[in-house]
Structure 1
Amino acid sequence: MTLKVSNLTGGYSSQPVLHDLNFEIQSGEIVGLIGLNGAGKSTTIKHIIGLMKAMKGEITIDDYKLDTDMNDYRQSFTYIPEMPVLYDALTLKEHIELTGMAYGLSKEIALQNAQPLLEMFRLDNRLDWLPIHFSKGMKQKVMLVCAFLIETSLYVIDEPFLGLDPLAIHDLIETLKVKKEAGSSILMSTHVLATAQQYCDRFIFLQEGRVIAIGTIDDIRAQFDMPDASLDDLYIRLAKGADDELV
């Protein structure tokens, strides 16, 4: 098991947004985090990566806890945010080197690990470029390169397909498959459900900060007696919260 979330209640100030979340992600598993805007997906991710402190409950990655094993916990995952976050004064090469340093890699090893990713995402001739020269999609590719050059237990990705062209989406999916086959786990928040249905092993549906369904697509189909439903169909059914309103 890579990630375990137990009885997590959290949010902003004293107001809970998440209510008693419980789920696990096993090694070599891709899990889609699904829900409407405001369902609690980003808040869940912020708690997992340590940007927010839980009001109640516990999160472990590889049996490490943020409050007792801070360095080991933080080096057990990488995170790709919805909106690219780059340093204006650093080139692509320097972003790669800085990422490597954060995980204890030399500049040489970081660049070596990044090279196939740079070639895949067609950035190998952009190493001396500053972020001002990159489009939004290219900035997102920089984030992907920096995240995936690290060999880690868990990859946490928030809406990874935004701003990417179809070829880059294909390359991202292939990269996720490689990481999965190597034993890493991926937790991914996404609204691109038709794509997610093709490669996610399981799904966690959030609604108003609560887990309302969890499992494989067949598990959720069985739960709602919808044996032929697509992930889109299930999402609509779950989001509406009604047992008889799907066309």
Structure 2
Amino acid sequence: MSATTTAETVLRARGIAHSYGRLEALAGLTLDVRPGECVALIGANGSGKSTAVRIIAGMLAPTSGTVEIAGADPHVEPDGEQARAALALVPDNPLLYDDLTIAEHLELVGLAHGVPDDELVVRIPELLDRLGLEPRRDFLPRELSRGMRQKTALACALVRPAKLLVLDEPVVGLDPPSQQLLVELLQEAKEAGVAVLFTTHQLAFADGLADRAVVLQEGVVLDTGAWAKVRQRARERGWQ
């Protein structure tokens, strides 16, 4: 890859696929996401969205194809460390430590990614307040609702520096005001030059947020292109 390509493309996936025995969960997804750009992976449950996210995040090895994040392969060491440092992931099922409070999660993530103490002292209260988590800052995960755990995972992703923000079904568990707040936070991330990739089966959530979209159906790319055009074609198919 040339230096120019690396600089202009944060996520570069080429023909990534994965099969579970004879079941092909994902059949050759090619995708670029650039700084300040938001791409939506659209599809119903079982369409291959989460498989794609797990491959991109380095959690699942592709059966075929390649992934590069900020020029590094998340599936090969020592590149994997560089790729993980560039990517912040919000999974569909928040992964939290049972014995850490919300505030302690943010402190741990921030310190692990080299955020200076003086920045964390400011950043953590800002995020807790913005996400409505401040009253529960000392709560453990088992004391939180599904939506609060989702917000905690989001705060962990935002408290640290990242070139690529990946969110798998981030709307699940969030009430409408929280969904609108999520849109605002992702818009701000885009404006700061972060590349954003999220999956959803709710087309309305991507309106005004996604620049481009890829529609998956049973692991196969059904449609791709600029969001407005993909959205129009979805309406023509009767999708809302």
| TM-score normalised according to structure 2 size | 0.87
Cα 1:14–1:94 change in 2 (3 A) is farther
Cα shift at 1:47: 0.3
Which position in structure 2 is the counterpart of 1:85?
Answer: 95
Matched, 1:63 2:71: yes
Cα 1:206–1:183 change in 2 (3 A) is same
Matched, 1:162 2:177: no
Q: Which residue, out of 44, 56, 61, partners 2:52?
A: 44
Which position in structure 2 is the counterpart of 1:31?
Answer: 39
Cα shift at 1:190: 0.7
Q: CA RMSD in A?
A: 2.1
Contact 2:89 2:165 (8 Å CA) reproduced = yes
User: 1:197, 1:230 → 2: CA distance?
Assistant: 14
Give unmatched runs, 5+ long, in structure 2.
1-8
Report the count of equivalent residues: 230
User: 2:117, 2:156 → 1: CA distance?
Assistant: 13
Cα shift at 1:230: 7.1
Contact 1:113 1:150 (8 Å CA) reproduced = no
Contact 2:107 2:124 (8 Å CA) reproduced = no
Cα shift at 1:36: 1.9
Cα shift at 1:186: 0.9
Q: Give the percent of matched residue pairs that are identical in Structure 1 and Structure 2.
A: 36
1:22-48 Cα offsets, whole Å, 9 max, x none, are 111111111110112211000000100
Cα shift at 1:115: 2.2
- Matches of residues 10-25 of structure 1 in structure 2 within 5 Å? 10-12=18-20, 15-25=23-33
Q: Which residue, out of 41, 53, 77, partners 2:61?
A: 53
Moved more, 84-93 or 51-60: 84-93
Contact 1:5 1:59 (8 Å CA) reproduced = yes
User: 2:229, 2:180 → 1: CA distance?
Assistant: 27
User: 1:32, 1:186 → 2: CA distance?
Assistant: 8
1:173-199 Cα offsets, whole Å, 9 max, x none, are 111011000111111101221121222
Matched, 1:95 2:95: no
Give unmatched runs, 5+ long, in structure 1.
222-228, 238-245
The residue matched to 2:207 in structure 1 has which SS? helix
Larger Rg computed on CA atoms: 1
User: 2:163, 2:219 → 1: CA distance?
Assistant: 26
Which position in structure 2 is the counterpart of 1:241?
Answer: none
- Matches of residues 109-120 of structure 1 in structure 2 within 5 Å? 109-120=119-130
Which position in structure 1 is the counterpart of 2:151?
Answer: 141
Contact 1:115 1:124 (8 Å CA) reproduced = yes
Cα 1:173–1:58 change in 2 (3 A) is same
1:108-134 Cα offsets, whole Å, 9 max, x none, are 533432222111112123222212222
Matched, 1:129 2:135: no
| TM-score normalised according to structure 1 size | 0.85
Which position in structure 2 is the counterpart of 1:8?
Answer: 16
